[in-house]
Structure 1
Amino acid sequence: MKNLKATLAIVCIMAFIGCKMEEEQQLNELYVGTYTQGDSEGIYRFQFNSRTGELSQKELAAPLNNPSYIRFSPDKKKLYAVMETDEFDGNSGGIMAFDLVGGALKEKGPKANVGAHPCHIAISDDGKQLAVSSYTGGSVSLFALDDSGALLPDPQFIDLKSLDTVKTSHAHSTEFTPDGLFIADLGLDAVKRYSYNGKEFIPHEQTSLDLPDGAGPRHFTFGQNRRFLYVINELNSTITVFEKTGKEYKMLETKTTLADDFKGESFCADIHLSPDGKFLYGSNRGEQTIVIFKVDDATGKLTLVGREDVRGDWPRNFTIDPSGQFLLVANQKSDNITVFKRDASTGTLTYLQETSLPSPVCLTFLE
């Protein structure tokens, strides 16, 4: 009898430990960048349950002025945040590096100044280079990172305003590739390409992927090992698909993101592929929707699946959780984050719940 009781006790303890470990594995930390002109104080942290879709344990991770875009380093040990302003260190914006220590954010070295109103951060896969896009500044600042992830002084400065005497540059996002850098410039209606010569970034042989006047390319994502490039255009509410042929990208097609019967003003914001690359999502500020497209595996072309009401106002950035089962939307003007269950086979979204937070604009998971 004593042996039976002891065995049962061990079984119960092991079951408890197993349940506890499973519960911990289902939790992921979500960090949120915000605008701080209202009630927000900076960067916030939540716990996200990848089984239920619940957000909980909201806390201020770091006080900071207008951290409207945040990004983790590839090793997930550092977080970088812009300060979207034109009043940091004179007529400029700023960027801040943080060490991630036990979930807490600790400032890493001094803040650095960049062009006015920085709005996006890109980091190379090896964690050695960082690019900051500055919207009003019409520029990109390229920092080298030391072994600890700190920002090194004297970044390369790419002045996009000098490229056009008619249009006004508004650099909105960048991404590193194995051979260089892509820059979406909303004001120039183009995605600019740069190559890396070992010392600095210089114009690529294909210097520009031009879009129609007034398109306003804002963000982009690559599919199928960079065979396809998907660009979401803020001003004319479209997504343009490019296909790589040789060393150049050629325009393949353009799709509207809005319903045929929508009559009001709307502006696109963010774009993401599903983890398996089968579905493409984009956010519409005004129509207040996430538009859903199916991606053709062979051609990269898009077929409309539908759209989902975001249950909020002014959907900015959105993200898919590490499990791929949920899509979360930052609704800037309605001060809420909405959570949707994602059907991996159809790409469709089902609303689950929402969480209040002042002026959320950027969501990123610590995987």
Structure 2
Amino acid sequence: MTRFWLGGYGPAMDGSAEGIGFLAGDAGREASTLSYRGAVAEAPSPSWLAQHPSLDVVYAALEGDAAVQAYARTGEAALIPIGERVAVGTSVCHLAVAPNGSSLVASCYGDGRVVRIGLDGAGRLAPARPDAAAALRAALFGDDDPDAAPATPPGDGVAAIDPHAAEGERVSHAHAAVFLPDGRVATTDLGFDLVRIWRVPATQGLILDHEVVLPRGTGPRHLVLHPSGHLHVVTEYSCEVFTLGPSPDGTWSIVSSTVATPIAQVGVDFPAELARTRDGQFLYTALRGSNTIAALRVRGGGDALEPIALADSGVDWPRHHLVHEGKLLVAGQRSDTVTLLDLDERTGAPLGIRHQAPVPTPTHILPVR
């Protein structure tokens, strides 16, 4: 049996999820059905989930509560909170865990904060100090000891000091993070059209290394690391996918870009997640608005993309999706459903909807390890 943890929005965020949900399905590539088994841990709007790399511990971004909580797995399908929740920033919407399990990075859409939280040997969260907004201040204004700086107060995030916009013109919206092979962290700022590269000190916090500036108004949202070492970044406002690559000195830059699909309508369609196949041959992004899935083929050495297909997602407002066992699972935030789509193994194109399961306001799907 194939099993998944489900993130979702609760009543305080106009949803019906009661906490972290559990979804079960047939195993293997011939899987044909999905079944929602209810909430396995009470949590207020756990909109994004992340797995510890070596422990049976799951982390939840409690978006409406501006906090992160750790949960330990007990039995086949149960989670219990461990340790104390840690306050981060407004509308925390994404978590990324370090490959060695030493820390996680929380991205906060509401105030632009990017917060690094240490993890102990049992996977519990350590108190956060300081966040990336404090580190960015240190990088820009020359503070001597950014790790000793206090966390910035609520509402005083990266937006107030961004060097690429005049004050008041734009608002910072941190949206996702990924740990790079060299130990640094890449994050997106949807509001300022930036991908920031951070160094990770031995203590806590993050230190700004450099920034990659995307065209104004593109809105970089989520990003995925390709096996080739390139970063693919989907943009919420311009319906594009940018490919970033590192130079020998470690500086990242844009190497190519393409539309997610030639028929995407800017201002009507809003791409959400970006997911890839295990071998890195294909990428998929979901267009909220037309409620479609766009497939792209990875060309060259991972440095170029080509749109190849567009298909019905089978849901309303496809918030998240992932490739699993040769199929695509799609979470429909507004339709209260998760769909299972077949994928053509040779061409990468979605072939159609195999199954649809009712699920309360799903926002994220995480395979149970």
Tell me which interval the TM-score lies in, with the shorter structure as reference length.
Answer: 0.7 to 0.9
Q: What SS does structure 2 have at the residue aligned with 1:149?
A: coil
Normalising by the residue count of structure 2, what TM-score does the alignment of the two structures yield? 0.86
**1:233 equivalent among 229, 232, 235:** 235
Q: Which residue of 2 aligns with 1:252?
A: 255
- State which structure, 1 or 2, has the greater radius of gyration over its C-alpha atoms: 1
AA at the equivalent of 1:335? D
CA distance in 2, matches of 1:175, 1:48: 28
Cα gap change, 1:28/1:299 in structure 2, threshold over 3 Å: closer, same or farther? closer
**Aligned twin of 1:294:** 297
| Higher deviation after alignment, 231-240 or 49-58 | 49-58
Between the aligned partners of 1:300 and 1:355, the Cα distance in structure 2 is 36
Matching residue's letter, 1:31: W
- Contact residue 343 and residue 349 of structure 2 kept, 8 A: yes
In structure 2, which of residues 159, 162, 171 is the aligned counterpart of residue 161 of structure 1?
Answer: 159
CA contact (8 A) 1:144 1:155 kept: no
* Alpha-carbon distance in 2 for matches of 1:187, 1:263: 16
Tell me, in whole angstroms, the C-alpha distance in 2 between the residues paired with 1:366 and 1:354.
Answer: 20
Instruction: Classify the secondary structure of the residue corresponding to 1:168.
Output: coil
> C-alpha displacement at 1:179, in angstroms?
2.6
1:294-348: CA deviations, max 9, x gaps?
Answer: 1114352111211111011111110112x2x111000111111010112221101
Matched position secondary structure for 2:171: coil
Residue of structure 2 equivalent to 1:285: 288
Amino acid at match of 2:95: I
Shift of 1:360: 0.7
Once residues 341 and 335 of structure 1 are traced to their aligned partners in structure 2, the CA distance between those partners, rounded to angstroms, is: 20
Pair 1:198–1:297, CA change in 2 (3 A): same
The CA deviation at 1:46 is 1.5
1:66 and 2:66 are equivalent in the alignment: no
Equivalent residue of 2:79, what SS? strand
> 2:207 aligned with 1:202, yes or no?
yes
In structure 2, C-alpha distance between the alignment counterparts of 1:53 and 1:185, rounded to whole Å: 38
Structure with larger RCO (C-alpha < 8 A, sep 6+): 2
Deviation of 1:197 after TM superposition, in Å, equals 3.1
Q: 1:186–1:262: structure 2 CA closer, same or farther, 3 Å change rule?
A: closer
Q: Alignment partner of 1:161: what SS?
A: helix
Q: Which of 178, 184, 187 is equivalent to 1:183?
A: 187
Q: Is the 8 A contact 1:258 1:287 kept in 2?
A: no
Cα shift at 1:262: 4.7
Query: In the TM superposition, what is the alpha-carbon distance from 1:112 to its structure 2 partner?
Result: 1.5
Report matched runs for 1:103-142 at 5 Å.
Answer: 103-142=77-116
Q: What are the ranges of 5 or more consecutive residues in structure 1 without an aligned counterpart?
A: 1-26
Paired amino acid for 1:40: A
Listed one character per residue, the Cα deviations across residues 124-144 of structure 1 (whole Å, up to 9, x for unaligned) are 001111111111121011111
Partner residue of 1:221?
Answer: 224
Aligned CA distance change for structure 1 residues 76 and 147 (closer, same or farther; 3 Å): closer
Q: Which runs of 5+ in 2 are unaligned?
A: 134-157
Contact 1:285–1:316 under 8 Å retained in 2: yes
Once the two structures are superposed, what CA deviation does each residue of 1:116-174 show, in whole Å capped at 9, x if it has no partner?
11000010001111111111121011111000000012433111224323421111011
Residue 94 of structure 1: which of 33, 50, 67 is its match? 67
Instruction: State the Cα distance separating 1:81 from its structure 2 match.
Output: 0.4
Letter of the 2:130 counterpart? Q
Identical positions, percent: 27
Counterpart position of 1:23? none
Q: Aligned with 1:353: secondary structure?
A: strand
Cα distance in 1 between the residues matched to 2:356 and 2:61? 26
Amino acid at match of 1:52: A
Q: Distance in 2 between matches of 1:140 and 1:203?
A: 11
CA deviation digits over 1:225-250, x for unaligned, max 9? 42x11000001111111122211222
* CA RMSD, 1 decimal: 1.6
Given residue 17 of structure 2, which amino acid in structure 1 is its aligned partner?
S
**Corresponding letter in the other structure for 1:42:** G
Equivalent position of 1:328 in the other structure: 329
Structure 2 CA distance for partners of 1:264 and 1:142, relative to 1, 3 Å: closer
The answer to whether the 8 Å contact 2:269/2:287 transfers is yes
Equivalent residues of 1:118, 1:132 under 8 A apart: yes
Instruction: Write the mapping of 1:343-354 to structure 2, written as runs, cut at 5 A.
Output: 343-350=344-351, 351-354=353-356
Task: Name the CA distance, whole Å, in 2 between partners of 1:221 and 1:117.
Answer: 21
Query: 1:242 maps to which residue?
Result: 244
